[in-house]
Amino acid sequence: MLSRKKAAFEMSITTIVILVIAMTMLILGIVLIRSIMCGAMGLTQDINEKVRGQINKFFTEGGDVPVHCVGEGSDAPLMPAGRTNYIMCTIKDPSSGKEVTFTLDKITYYPKVGDSDRVDDWARDKEDKKVNIGINQELTVKAYALNVPANVDGTVNIQGKATQGGQTIAYIDLDFTVKKVSGLQNAMC
């Protein structure tokens, strides 16, 4: 009888020790995840501030061009294959406050392989994108949407224009690097 009580007592102490260790691990895990998430949010905030600075730099160095889009310049950003990709443009209108219309003129894909022969079908919206902008307002809009097939890998060039009141205010010439992404990366990102 005494050995049973001793065994039960040892078992309950073992259970308590295991529970304490499990709770400690849970608390440490929560603290670790919280610190990672807080660090990521701080990093995101820093990146957003730097992006806003770059956008303002575009407009101050860009002269009279009131429209700037992702994909301008020498470095072609990544466009993942197998999903819908949105091309963001920023409009800065200091004076007129009129409607801005984005028109997609041409999509070119290099090299000519896979579904690239039907590259014009990549455009999700065939119609022009119209955006109302107020005086002295700055807007970031999804100007174009492309459904890039999963079996392509290369470079895509997008040409279009932005018009305001019937006048062309910017010619848009954008380059992107199209890459296939893995299933895990596609699910996670």
Per-residue pLDDT reduced to its tens digit, 76-96: 888 888 888 888 888 877 666
**103 or 4, higher pLDDT:** 103
Query: For residue 188, is pLDDT > 50?
Result: no
Q: Judge contact between 162 and 107, C-beta under 8 A.
A: no
Of the candidates 85, 175, 100, the one whose C-alpha atom is nearest the C-alpha of residue 139 is 100
Query: For residue 115, is pLDDT > 60?
Result: no
Q: Based on DSSP, count helices (H) and strands (E) in the chain, helices before strands.
A: 2, 8
Measured distance CA(173)–CA(149) in Å, rounded:
21
What count of other Cβ atoms lies within 10 Å of the Cβ of residue 70? 17
How confident is the model at residue 101, as a pLDDT?
84
> How many residues are given for the chain?
189
65-188 maps to which CATH number?
2.60.40.2550
Query: For residue 107, is pLDDT > 70?
Result: yes
Q: Dig out the tokens for 69 from the structure.
A: 């889009």
Q: Judge contact between 144 and 123, C-beta under 8 A.
A: yes
**141 or 26, higher pLDDT:** 26
Q: Dig out the tokens for 113 from the structure.
A: 């392989």
Q: Judge contact between 144 and 162, C-beta under 8 A.
A: no
What count of other Cβ atoms lies within 10 Å of the Cβ of residue 42? 10
Of the candidates 132, 139, 141, the one whose C-alpha atom is nearest the C-alpha of residue 98 is 132
**152 or 62, higher pLDDT:** 152
**5 or 47, higher pLDDT:** 47
Q: Locate the domains of the chain by residue range.
A: 1-61, 65-188
CA separation (Å) from 12 to 2, 27, 45, 107? 15, 22, 49, 71
The average pLDDT across 50-63 equals 65
Per-residue pLDDT reduced to its tens digit, 119-157: 777 777 777 888 877 777 777 888 888 888 887 888 888
Whole-model pTM: value is 0.60
CA separation (Å) from 100 to 71, 72, 128, 141, 164? 19, 19, 10, 11, 5
Residue 112's pLDDT band (boundaries 50, 70, 90)?
low
